[in-house]
Amino acid sequence: MKNQNHSNSYSAYESAVYRAQKISDYDGNPLIEALPPILETEEEVIDAFYHFPIISEEEKRLSPRIKSHILWRVKSFLQPLPAHIRLESIISTLIRHSYQSRNPLDAQYKHKMQILNQMKNLKECTTEELETNYQVGNTTAECVMINGVSGAGKTTAINRTLHLYPQVIKHFSYKGQPLTRTQIVWLKIDCPYDGNFATLCRSIFAEIDRLTNERWLEKYGYLTRSTSTMLMHMTTLLINYNVGVLVIDEIQHLSKLKKEAADMLDFLVTLTNMFSVPLIFIGTSKSRSLFQHNFRLARRVQSGGYIEMGPLKQNSAEWDTLLESLWEFNVLDEDTELTQTIKDFFYDQCQGVISLAVMLFMCAQSRALLHNVNKMTPAIIKEATEHDLKFTQPMITALRSGDPLKIAEFDDISINEEIIWRNLQHDIEMEDRVNEAIANKRQEMKNKRQASHDALYFSICSSNIFPNFTQDVLRNIIDTVVSTTDSNIPEDELKMLVMQRIFAETKNQQQQKKKQQAIPNKTFSLLKIYDEAIRKKEHPYELFKKKGLIKNPFEEFTKVE
């Protein structure tokens, strides 16, 4: 059968393609044979996980606003870590092992399915009745616990691993025989905030509805249903849809509860063992409190494996490789050398939390574009930390302290990358809009002043009432008045101010002229009198005296008396 992808507005699925198995235990099981081939080497796993976005030289020459959009590609960056390789191996084994005891061709399994189909038509049914009727033979499934601080990459790792598999596979025939089955390879939900069994069931009903285009939530999830009946129907749906693994994220939500949380976890583990549907729990360090006083439950929850995903260690190979890879995605005009000083400073600002490192890198470059800074600097990195990642600072401070109690107190701080990026882009776009508005306003004022200047210049020059002023002088006077006056002042008032300025300039010129006329050029007059005395063969002193230029000393003395 050809591998075909089908989708509509509600659901998407792949038609089953059956592959030969290298492990005899898996041979002859349609649910296992329909899965993608097992990744056999670490190199294959790394290739499947690794994703590094690129930016072309042409894109680097685009405008800053366009490049701020290109930066979002960094969000898809994924560098495989040892934890990823281990997680892929665990899930690959977990799913196939769970399907071993649920072979739809097996007679015993067919008998179990008949029992379930009979029981799901009952209006009320307890889990004890379900367990009594369904338990045929020994079945078991494992549970896995993934733990770590927010932003360490837990959800990214599990999502990337799960997406190595088609989520929904449709079976129509197997080796020439009819086989109508819907196989949900993996089902992932978030733990309800209230830790309520009914809420958990409704979440599972809704997710199955989304994948299958059915209406199980409407049928089984109404409020008057008893919790025990909803749990029974949830279980039967997990079995009927051949769910390969059930993933429950954010289980730290249960830490606010006590006995109810333990009851829910114990119930889920019991059911997964009974019906061979493996469970993966994902939570922050705060979820550890759920198991501190229940060793049995702790052992069962991590029976299939335990993966701790914390911040990367400073100067570790993983951290250096991650930072060096990030540094290659540079949208700025100049490359920044990744010195040890930069490495240390960058680590201090994000404390090795992967999602924070990626967001800090994106936000720092975006702010550099905003401020027309050509390269990454500690100042830009610091600004991005203070403005764009300020709500994560309590967690960073706790991680910086190294105190496990403080880390546990703050490790469930949500790091919503989309909101952080959207807020930064909003700030950039708002600043762009403000700058653009200011530029437009300044241009508007400039245009208005130029129009006023031109109108006044034409009006005054055409009137010819100031013939003593050249056009350049008049233009300078109008320029001075218009540039120092509110652009919204009425034209008549502006014209009056210009006229006043011209009149003042006229009066000033007249005063300067009178002053020049009142002060004779004494040097020139004395030389003329001197020449005249020489011509008349008269002593210059006597002629100066006759002209009144030399006063009588006696008369001056008398005036003083």
Average pLDDT over the chain, rounded to an integer: 79
Using one digit for the tens of pLDDT, what is the confidence trace for 361-375? 999 999 999 888 899
Q: Is 343 a residue whose pLDDT tops 60?
A: yes
Domain 14-43+82-127+138-309 indexed as CATH 3.40.630.10: no
Tens digits of per-residue pLDDT, 467-507?
Answer: 777 777 878 888 777 766 666 677 777 778 877 877 787 77
3-state secondary structure of 317: helix
Provide the pLDDT confidence category of residue 93 given band limits of 50, 70 and 90. very high
Whether the Cβ atoms of residue 477 and residue 502 lie closer than 8 Å to each other: yes
Apex 436 CA angle, 430 and 440, nearest 5? 145
Instruction: Give the residue carrying structure tokens 């006083």.
Output: 293
State how far the Cα of 448 lies from the Cα of 461, in Å rounded to an integer: 20
Residue 198 contacts residue 217 (beta carbons within 8 Å): no
Q: Which two tokens stand for residue 201?
A: 């069931």
Q: Could you give phi then psi for residue 272, rounded to 5 degrees?
A: -65, -35
Convert the pLDDT of each residue in 274-311 to its tens digit: 778 899 999 887 777 777 666 667 777 777 788 888 88
> Terminal CA-to-CA distance of the chain, rounded, Å?
138
Mean pLDDT of 442-461: 74
Alpha-carbon torsion 374, 380, 385, 386, what sign?
negative
3-state secondary structure of 283: strand
Q: Are 36 and 162 in contact (CB under 8 A)?
A: no
CA distances to 191, 271, 272, 304 from 238, in Å = 17, 10, 10, 20
The two three-digit tokens of residue 199, written as one number: 């809420």
CA gap 206, 399 in Å, rounded? 37
Query: Which contacts qualify for 383-388: CB closer than 8 Å, 24 or more apart?
Result: 384/360, 385/349, 385/350, 385/360, 387/424, 387/427, 388/359, 388/360, 388/363, 388/420, 388/423, 388/424
Beta bridge partners of 74: none
Q: What angle do CA 546, 548, 554 make, to 5 degrees?
A: 95
Using alpha carbons, list the distances in angstroms from residue 520 to 498, 514, 516: 34, 11, 7
Answer yes or no: is pLDDT of 10 > 50. Answer: no
Pairwise CA distance, residues 343 & 320, whole Å = 8
Strand order across the beta sheet in which 5-7 lies: 5-7, 12-15, 168-174, 177-184
pLDDT digits over 374-432, tens only?
999 999 999 999 988 888 888 888 888 877 777 767 655 444 445 444 544 544 554 45
Domain segments of the chain as ranges: 14-43+82-127+138-309, 433-517, 526-558
